[in-house]
Amino acid sequence: MARGDARSFATARKERAADVDRWLADLLRAACAWPYAEAGRDGAGAAAGIRPGRAEQRGVARVRDGRVAADRSAFDGVALVAVGSLGRGELAPGSDLDLVLLHDGRDDVGRLADRLWYPIWDSGVGLDHSVRTLDEAAEVAREDLKAALGLIQARHVAGDAELTRALREAVLADWRARSRRRLAELREAADRRAGASGELAFLLEPDLRDSRGGLRDVQAMQAVAAAWVAPAPGPRVREAYELLLDARHALHLVTGRGADRLVLQEQEAVAGSLGLLDAEALMRRLAEAGRTISHAFDATWRTVDRLLAGPAPRGRRPLADGVVEHGGEVVLARGAEPRTDPVLVLRAAAAAAGAGLPMAPATVSTLAAQCPPLPVPWPKEARDALVSLLGAGRAAVPVWEELDQSGVLVRLIPDWERVRHRPQRNPVHRYTVDRHLIETAAAAAAYTREVSRPDLLLISALLHDVGKGWPGDHSVTGEVVARDIGFRMGLPRADVDVLTRVVRHHLLLPETATRRDLDDPLTVSRVAEAVGSREVLELLAVLAVADGEATGPAAWNSWKASLVADLVRRARSVLSGAPPAPAPVLSPEQAALARHGGGAVRVHGGAVTVVAPDRPGLLWHAAGVLAAHRLVVRSAASASAGSTAVIEFAVVPEYGSPPDPAALEADLRLVLAGRLDIERRLARRAGAMRRSRVPVAPPRVTLVDDASSTATVVEVRAHDRPGLLWRIGRAFGECGLDVRAARVETLGAEAVDVFYVVDRAGRPLVDVEQRGDVRRHVLAALR
């Protein structure tokens, strides 16, 4: 791996640990032979980044020069033992020193400890310390998992080495004797840690130490190996571990403190320190390392479970041609010939997923090393095996990960390399691109009975974002890549055409449903034209659901699902030759409200109906009232009955229960009467919010042509904040425009808002100067 310095960070860590060892040894000598006032350290401590004092320098110098007696008898019955990062020789710049002063019952150990700890504290180094007898330390290790893990990898620094050796032997013997209980505790602690810190490979800001796939998981595997239950981590895991150590080392240098979470604003600098191109390259390397560690971690615990559960049932159960179950794993049958059977790897994977079993590591290695490449185009048996694998749903994900870790996937689908471990760099997405693809296919497996071509549904789900490995619009590039992969898989041309159309338009339904007015006939006709057939429409409808579920909760919810379902229903009607739906009319409830005139607000579930005398700016004034009452607007549409306007808002509370409708109505009346300064109220809300430390992209305003024949569509993308819809609407009002309808979507912290606007005469905007003026006003409001 490239380094920003001529020395590797691994060398720097070892040298720093050695420097600290020398300094601590000098401190112990001085503590044993000289009063605290002159105990200290010399140049070794300086090399460790700790500033000496003159008294400390004189004290150690006198010990080293022999002017103060410090013979071996001074160390009798006392040892300084390093645990934690110092014990492992992995001391990063911001690491604390974890030390145990071990003794055999010496009466002066309290004074000795003071003489040892105070110079360390005075130097400004973080210190985690304890003073124990051999029996006390062994007892603490028996009762406290953290202490046991530290002492398993304890390292002698200075003093009586026999004490350290006796402690390590006692701790290791007890760890092995109680392995069943201690490893259960270790597994539970790892699960808690992962639940609190997430999975390193898929986080925007991973915790390098505590996340699943982080440093502590490797240390846990080392502890399992110390119990003689499973092998120690192999070379690939050790390489991944070194990368995480290097990243943590660089992070300490960049931040000047002992940080473990790699936040967004530090990633470019850390990448530079590691000699990597940019933050994207860094996060991709870390994702790969995290998944390598997680995969090995899972394999370790499968080994632990098998050994602790006792002998496995004897015998073999056939699963597929050349594939059997043995001992709870999928292995090759005795007569299997991987060297002459290129489909065997996919057949074994499909059998494993179908049975809900892991593939034995030795089997995966054998298949990766011996199976010849699949012929191009693939034979039908290979396609069937792939579809069977994907159709297993959630059980396919760990099997797919096995194929990825062994390098099989990129041989089967060479284009997979470009999306492999690629970070999304987006808070909406919970996974890297490649993991998102297999998660989407797993989600789509639950809907195969709803489409006429389940095989194409699963393959298109697997490939829908494959274009993200290439520059440009990933839907456009994905169409090209999916076409190549489809032919490589041996799909007929007609199926390839369906596959590529689905990949090209996989965002069409959710984006149109949430960003366009479905009551505009042009919206639905454009969707029907792009889709082309009911077969493609049904595939896109199911893929929208699976894609949203695999992306994360910010990308899919009941509101979006209902909009997509409505759009699909309308598009299906057009594709069947039915006439377009008529323009919407007021419902009986809305008409009854409109007859009252004046101002009224009705709240029912996630819908807020506002009725008021029609006037310019009514929609955005009402949106300001909703924002002041902590309601997030998802969509808005208006209709009129004579001189009365009826506006329907789809809303969700920012938190808690919805506000009191009476309070909403009272504030709306005050705003319309000009007696409530809603701008000031929203400004107070915005001022009370903590500003984000993460830089955000500048807002973007686009006037979309040909999206409607009756209005001008304005798309606004900006960082979300309270009252955003109100600010945008006010800018439209300043330009003399009316908002006929609005679609508002929040993706993580980003808002994608679409407005259908007309001038005072009710016409779309055609004047170039006026269109530019609108864009400038909206941008000014956003800033």
The backbone torsions φ and ψ at residue 90, rounded to the nearest 5 degrees and listed phi first, read -120, 35
Distant-in-sequence contacts of 182-190, Cβ < 8 A, 24+ apart:
182/145, 182/148, 182/227, 183/224, 183/227, 183/229, 183/304, 183/308, 185/145, 186/145, 186/149, 186/220, 186/223, 186/224, 187/301, 187/304, 189/145, 189/220, 190/216, 190/217, 190/220, 190/297
Residues 187 and 173 in one domain: no
Q: Is residue 316 part of a domain?
A: no
Least Cα distance to 706 among 473, 581, 520 occurs for 520
Domain of residue 274 covers: 180-309
Residues 622 and 571 in one domain: no
Q: Is residue 582 part of a domain?
A: no
Q: What is the CATH number of the domain that holds 698?
A: 3.30.70.260
What is the Cα–Cα distance from 777 to 61, expressed in whole angstroms? 73
What is the Cα–Cα distance from 560 to 746, expressed in whole angstroms? 11
Q: Is residue 694 part of a domain?
A: yes
Residues 283 and 407 in one domain: no
pLDDT for the residue 73 = 59
Q: Is residue 323 part of a domain?
A: no
Whether the bond between 377 and the residue before it is cis, its omega within 30 degrees of 0, is yes
Pair type for strands 97-103 and 127-133: parallel
The backbone torsions φ and ψ at residue 554, rounded to the nearest 5 degrees and listed phi first, read -75, -15
Sign of the CA dihedral running 287, 288, 293, 296: positive
Residues 22 and 158 in one domain: yes
> How far does the chain reach from its first CA to its final CA, in angstroms?
42
Q: Is residue 3 part of a domain?
A: no
Residues 166 and 31 in one domain: yes
Instruction: Report the predicted TM-score, pTM, of the whole model to 2 decimal places.
Output: 0.82
What is the Cα–Cα distance from 112 to 106, expressed in whole angstroms? 10
Q: Is residue 315 part of a domain?
A: no
> Among 136, 158, 177, where does a domain finish?
177
pLDDT for the residue 7 = 55
Q: Is residue 194 part of a domain?
A: yes
Tell me the mean pLDDT per 10 residues along the chain, length 783: 57 89 89 54 46 43 43 75 92 91 90 90 90 95 93 93 94 94 94 94 94 97 94 95 96 92 94 94 96 96 83 80 92 94 97 94 95 96 96 95 95 96 87 96 94 95 96 96 97 97 97 88 92 96 96 83 92 83 62 64 80 80 86 76 78 80 83 81 71 68 87 88 83 88 73 86 90 93 83
Residues 627 and 531 in one domain: no
As for how many domains the chain has, the answer is: 4
DSSP-assigned letter for residue 583: P
Q: Which amino acid is at 596?
A: H
Q: Is residue 314 part of a domain?
A: no
